[in-house]
Every structure is written in structure tokens, then in C-alpha cells.
Amino acid sequence: MTTPAMTRDRTGALCTIGPAAVFMVGIVGIPLLYIFYVSFNGLHFSFYAYVTLLSSRLFFQSLWSTFETSILATVLSVLLGYPVAIHLARQSPRRRALMMILVLMPFWTSILVKSYAFTIILGRRGLINSALSYLVGHKVALPLLFNKFAVVIGMANYLVPFVIFPVLASLLAIDPALGRAATLMGAHPLRVFRQITLPLSLPGVIAGASSTFIISLGFFVVPALLGGRHDVMLANLVDFYTRETLDWSAAAAIGMCLLAIIGLCGVMAATLRKVRRA
Amino acid sequence: MSHSRAVSHKVRRRNFCLGGASALAAPFISRRSLARSGGELVFVSWGGSYHNAVRKGLVEPFMAETGIHVTMVDTPDLAKVKAQILSGNVEWDIFDSPGPLAATGSREGYWEALDTTHFPLSELSVQPTHDLAPFCLTAGGIAYDPREFPDGRHPRTFAEYFDTKRFPGLRTLRNRVSETLEVALLADGVAPDQLYPLDVERGFRMLDTIKPSIIKWVEATTQTITMLEAGEADFSYSYASRVQAAQASGGVSIDFSFAQTLNFLEYLSILKGAPHRDEAMQFVAFALRADRQAATMDMLVNRPVNEKAMGMLSERVQRWMPDINPGRNALVNDAWWAQNYSGLERRFKEWTLS
């Protein structure tokens, strides 16, 4: 039975999320279906793209390297971004707006320019190695560039804002009275953080971490410029098949595999949460 | 891509008027057909300084001479060509691309057969194939810092580049199998005119020997230069035009060895079903004319394929032209790569990972 309230609800929903839903179906759903179709070689149905991938060492190594790099970059971004968000949350709105511009700075610099800057910082004769050499008194040349370390640093440099903004939103939504009440009851600031701030900001952390992770999976330029020969990412492979060999089935199959893995991770996370709640 | 940052250089009037022999189709006919098909001739080429050189040396004089309007679009992407041809919605006319892309497109049947009637064929050092017109030639070779490694202390040939005992130091190579395999085979003493078909096993064995000395398998061409500038590499596999541009920008101690180079071609091709096919043919013929080649390459610092243009280049640029006579230098065979690229590239990537 439908009550008038329910009908009103449904009309409201249609008006508010309807346009976005139609848009997303058109712009994401249909192309995704097409990629699925292409991955099976379109009209000439075949599993060859999947067979090729699953028998390719290059694919599995890239897959592993992609996940390893993405997890490391996400962890580092959260560790760096969280304290910044806390600091921002404590500022006056005016100061906060100003500081947010600083947070967004890395976005406005070309990735090529930045990678060159990282060469100057992390290189054999870079700032860090030169400073260490000066302090120690003899030549130091730590291998900081053209390896996973450099890739993770370079990626975090780009990704930190994706953590800061959702975490900041969560922090600002916390009722300040909670913290004040706890302090009045004699709670140590660390305890306030552990029992109030941290748990209440977790949704922001989860949102930030998952978007950071997903963006990381598609990284392409930073690993190519700052990485060593072991740092191949799946995006490089997709590019290789799309633009160099024009084997779009293989490229589409990689996309599908990646989507399946991420979907699986999502389902697992959701189940885990349900189990914990039960 | 090995496209140089050229110093801006005014088109010389003398060149502009020279070489009218390789005539043009009657401009009014073209204009009428252009009006019928609607829109403008679309020329897909590279961005940045390459764009400027081609615009000043080629596109603007072409518009002035024929009255046909040309729109330049940056970055030739073969995937977009495939998409346009598959969807039957071809928007591009002329495609300016290096060997591997051009030859792959050729294998896939993406290009129109060229009408070479108006090409200055007798003046060209490399003849066009049925669907690809060579446009210019780039030289890959060894770049080094002459201040740190004066003559005698830097490798000059590919054999010396692979000789890490005589010339210790970190090196770069490209992160792709084409060029890299050729360099390895030349280093192992294969005669330049007997490179193809490439002895793949021998090439990989040779690459095994240099792997520990390669600090970076370079993805972006700019890094072949910046790695040297920052002192990350002692010697770098780079390109004459890039090194020239770095030198011209000043403040960098860098030079290039012409003792041995691996030369490769840049091509012009016309998309199958191009909306302005006839005007595109006219444009390609124009691009091969000696005066246009000289004016463009004076800015690009690549070697013209029109030999007559060689004499018209300024002195500054002359010294950067690689030798194309059979001898120590080799020319990349793009047709061979079109057949072998995808399999070997996969093997190469797996090899770098191991």
C-alpha cells in the first residue's frame, strides 16, 4: 500500500537524484558495458584477451606492483594528511580558506615539472644526499630516486589533498561540545583524541583512503618518471595495449580485471563491517 | 618523441619562393571541393616548439599559397585514429607520426594510398611507401657532459656505450624495445646495413650485459636530457635535436656524439576516408618541397628528407645533421617493427622486470 507520504518521498527522490542517476548511467554505465563487450572481442566473441592476460607474467607482476604501490601511497597519504586536517579544523574559517589553497598547490603544478623537482631533491647529487654528505663529512649517495620509495613519495605529494578534505569535513562535523565535556570530566587530550576525535573522523578517513587508493591504481606518469624498472603499473599496460598495439580487447580485459578486484574488495569490506556489527 | 625545442626563426623569403617546380594542384578546384565537404583541413601534429616550427615553416605558407585553411591539432594518437575509422566519423586529414605509429597504422590499413604525382621524388633521400611519406629524420645517439667527460673519456659509439669497463658510469636507455634492440645489436658489432631482421636473442644477450649500468629506462624523452643535467646519469641515449635545444637554451654543458647514430623517420600519412583527401595530398606534396623542408627543419633541427633542402639549411643547423650514408649509422626499419613490435615489446617489459 502506498501512503501519500511515500509517494511524496518517491517524487522527491526522483527530482533530487534522478538527473544524476541518468547522467551516471549514460556517462559511466553504458561505456562500462561497452568495455565489457570489447573485452570479449565484441561480435567475434572470444576469451582470448583474458587467456592472454592470465598466462602473462607481465600482467601479474604489474598487478602486484600496482597494489603494493597503491597501498603504500595510501598509507603515507593518510599519515601525512590526517594531522594537516586536524590543524586545519582548529583554524578560523578565514585562515582555513587560505591554508586550503596551500593544500591544493601541488594540483596546480605540472607533473613533469614536479618530477624534475623530485630529481633535484632525491637525486644522487640532490638536496638530501648533499645535506647528508655535508653532515657526515664524506660522500653519501642514498638510492632515493628511481625506485618504489620515489614513486610513493611522488604519488603522496599528489594524493594528500584527497585525504585532507574528507577528513576535514568529518572533523568539522564533530560537535565541539563533546570534546569540551570530556575535558571538563578530566580527560587527557590524548584520550579525547582516541575516544572522540578519531572514531568520529573515521568515516572521513575511510572515504579519503578509499578514493586515494582507487586514484592510485590508475597512476601512470609518476611511476614512469620516478620509478625504477620494477615499477610498472597496470595503467602503463592499458596504455600499451590501447595506443601502441591497438589491442583494445586486452586493454578492456585489464580494466575488467581491475574492476572485479576492486568490487571484490568492496564486498569483502562491507561483509566484514556487517560481521563486526552483528 | 624526439622533437626539439627549436629556436624561433623567421621564414626566409628566398626559401619561400624557391622550389616551385613541385607544383600544386589547381587551387580553385581544391577550394571548391573543400567548400563542398565543409570545414577545414585538419593536420594532427605535435605540441610545443614542434607545433610552432611546423606552423611557421609549413602550415602558414601553405595557407598563403593555396588559400586552403588548415587547423592544427596537437598530439597524434593512433587510438583516436582507430576510433574515428571504426565509427566512420573521420575528422582528421593528415597524421604526423614517428615510425612505429605510422607503420602500425599502415598494417591496420588506416591510411589512404598516396598520390605521388606531385611529390619531388627525385629529390628525396628516402622514397615514400604506398601510404607513408617520410617527412624528416631524427638521430638517436650518445649525449654526455663534455666538461665532466672531455674527449677520450666518454663513449662515442654504441660499442663504447656498452663498454662499461673502459667508460664506467651510469647510463640511460629507452623503456621500449624498438631503438633499444638496435642499439644493442650495433654495440655487439652487427653491420648497420645487416641489422634486419633483428637477431632478437643476440640483442637481449647484449642487453643483459648492460642492465646493471642502466640507472633509468626512460619513458619520457625529456628525461634523456634532464637525467644528464641533474647528474643522475653520466651518459644518456638521447637525440641530436634535443641536445641541440638544450645547448641552445644555454647554461647546460651537454654534447652529442655523431660518431654513430641510430636514425629514424617521422612520417606524414592521410587517414582513410579523410574528409579533405585531395587537399591533404596537396599538403603532403607541399611539405616535401625543398624550400618548405629547409624552413621547417631549420627550426626543428631534424634532417630533411629532401636532399636539396640540405644545402638551404643555416650553418648553425648543418652541424646537427646526422650522416645517412651507409657506414656506421643505421636506419630503423619501421615495416619490420610493424610486424614484430607487440610481441617483442611484451618480452622486453618482462625482461626489464626480471
Q: Which domain holds residue A94?
A: 48-277
Is A120's Cβ below 8 Å from some Cβ in B? yes
List pLDDT tens digits, range B176-214.
Answer: 999 999 999 999 999 999 999 999 999 999 999 999 999
Tell whether B78 lies on the interface with A, counting CB pairs under 8 A: yes
pLDDT range class, residue A18, cuts 50, 70, 90: confident
Cα(B140)–Cα(B145) distance, rounded to whole angstroms?
16
On whether the CB atoms of residues A152 and A73 are closer than 8 A, the answer is yes
Integer Cα distance of B206 and B159 in angstroms:
10
Of A58, A124, A242, the CB nearest to B346: A58
Residue of A nearest to B342 (CA): A245
By the CB < 8 Å criterion, does B115 face chain A? no
Residue of B222, B342, B353 lying closest to A58 (CB–CB): B353
Q: What is the per-residue pLDDT across A106-141, written as a single tens digit (0 to 9) for each? A: 778 888 788 888 988 999 889 999 999 999 988 888
Option in A120, A228, A245 nearest B341 (CB): A245
User: How confident is the model at residue A271, as a pLDDT?
Assistant: 85
Please indicate, yes or no, whether residues A110 and A87 belong to a single structural domain of this protein.
yes
| Domain identity same for A139 and A14 | no
Which pLDDT band, with edges at 50, 70 and 90, does A1 fall under? low
Three cell numbers written together for A221: 606518469
Do A54 and A178 sit in the same domain of this protein? yes
d(CA B108, CA A245): 10
- B226 touching chain A per CB within 8 A: yes
Q: Are residues A211 and A94 in the same domain?
A: yes
Beta bridge partners, A29, equal: none
Cβ distance B345 to A244 less than 8 Å, yes or no, reads yes
Cell digits of residue B353 = 622486470
User: How far, in Å, CA of A258 to CA of A250, rounded?
Assistant: 12
The average confidence (pLDDT) of chain A is 90
Q: Name the residue in chain B with its Cα closest to that of A57.
A: B350
Cβ-contact B63, B279 below 8 angstroms: no
Cα separation, A251 vs A53, whole angstroms: 10
* Shortest Cα–Cα distance, B267 to chain A (Å): 16
Same domain, A124 and A71: yes
- Beta strands B262-270 and B303-304 are unpaired
The residues with which B270 forms a beta bridge, in sequence order, are: B94
Q: Number of folded domains in chain A? A: 2
- Same structural domain, A30 and A167: no
Does A277 contact B at CB distance below 8 Å?
A: no
- Contact at CB, B345 and A243, closer than 8 angstroms: no
The per-residue pLDDT for B47 is: 87
Q: Chain B contacts of A120, Cβ < 8 Å?
A: 230
A-interface mutation test, from B213, B219, B222, B227, most A Cβ less than 10 A away: B219
CA distance A154 to chain B (A): 16
CA distance B221 to B239: 9
B25 DSSP assignment:
-
Is the omega angle on the peptide bond into residue B197 within 30 degrees of 0, that is, cis?
yes
- Do residue A34 and residue A140 come from a single domain? no
Residue B55 distance to chain A (closest CA, Å): 25
Set of chain B residues whose Cβ sits within 8 Å of the Cβ of A242: 79
| Residues in chain A closer than 8 A to B217 (CB atoms) | 229
Closest CA to B169 of B125, B120, B117, B228: B228
Chains A & B: contacts with CB separation below 8 Å: 69
Set of chain B residues whose Cβ sits within 8 Å of the Cβ of A139: none
Angle at the Cα of A89 (from A84 to A90), degrees rounded to 5?
100
Query: Residues 288..347 of B with a Cβ closer than 8 Å to A: which?
Result: 341-342, 345-346
Q: Are strands B235-239 and B133-144 parallel, antiparallel or unpaired?
A: antiparallel
Nearest beta carbon to residue A230 from set B78, B231, B353: B353
Tell if the CB–CB gap between A224 and B226 is shorter than 8 Å: no
C-alpha cell at A5: 507520504
Closest chain A residue to the Cα of B226, Cα to Cα: A116
Chain B hits for A246, CB-CB cut-off 8 Å, are: 78-79, 82, 104, 108
Query: B220 and A232 in contact by Cβ < 8 A?
Result: no
> Same domain, yes or no, for A52 and A35?
no
Other Cβ atoms less than 10 A from the Cβ of A106: the count is 15
Same domain for A117 and A246, yes or no, is: yes
Q: What CATH number corresponds to the domain at position A147?
A: 1.10.3720.10
Q: pLDDT category, A8, cuts 50, 70, 90? A: confident
> Within this chain, do residues A108 and A238 fall inside the same structural domain, yes or no?
yes
Q: Verify that A78 and A157 share a domain, yes or no.
A: yes
Within A195-247, where are the H helices?
198-217, 221-226, 234-239
Do A134 and A265 share a domain, yes or no? Answer: yes
Contacts A116 to B, Cβ<8 Å: 226, 230
Asked whether the beta carbons of residue B220 and residue A57 sit closer than 8 angstroms, the reply is: no
pLDDT 10s digits, A57-104 = 889 999 999 999 999 999 999 999 999 999 999 999 999 999 999 998
A214-218, A274-278, B95-99: which has the minimum mean pLDDT?
A274-278
CB contacts of B104 in chain A (<8 Å) are: 244-246
Supply the pLDDT for residue B342: 84
Give residue A275's pLDDT.
79
Tell me what pLDDT residue B12 has: 37
Contact between A119 and B232 using a beta-carbon 8 Å cutoff: yes
Residues A191-207 have pLDDT tens digits of: 999 999 999 999 999 99
Stretches where chain B sits below pLDDT 50 are 1-37
Model pTM score: 0.84
* Cross-chain Cβ contact B350/A58 below 8 Å: yes
Q: Which structural domains are found in chain B, ordered by start?
A: 13-137+264-318 (3.40.190.10), 138-263+331-353 (3.40.190.10)
Name residue B267's beta-bridge partners: B97, B134
CA A188, A193, A196, A200: dihedral to nearest 10 degrees? Answer: 180
A240–B345: do the CB atoms touch at under 8 Å?
yes
**Alpha helix positions (H), chain B:** 13-17, 27-37, 48-54, 60-66, 78-87, 99-108, 158-161, 177-187, 200-210, 223-229, 240-248, 277-287, 290-300, 307-310, 315-318, 334-353
CB contact under 8 A, A228 and B216: yes
Whole-number pLDDT of residue B14:
36
CB contact under 8 A, B232 and A124: yes
Contact between B278 and B31 (Cβ < 8 Å):
no
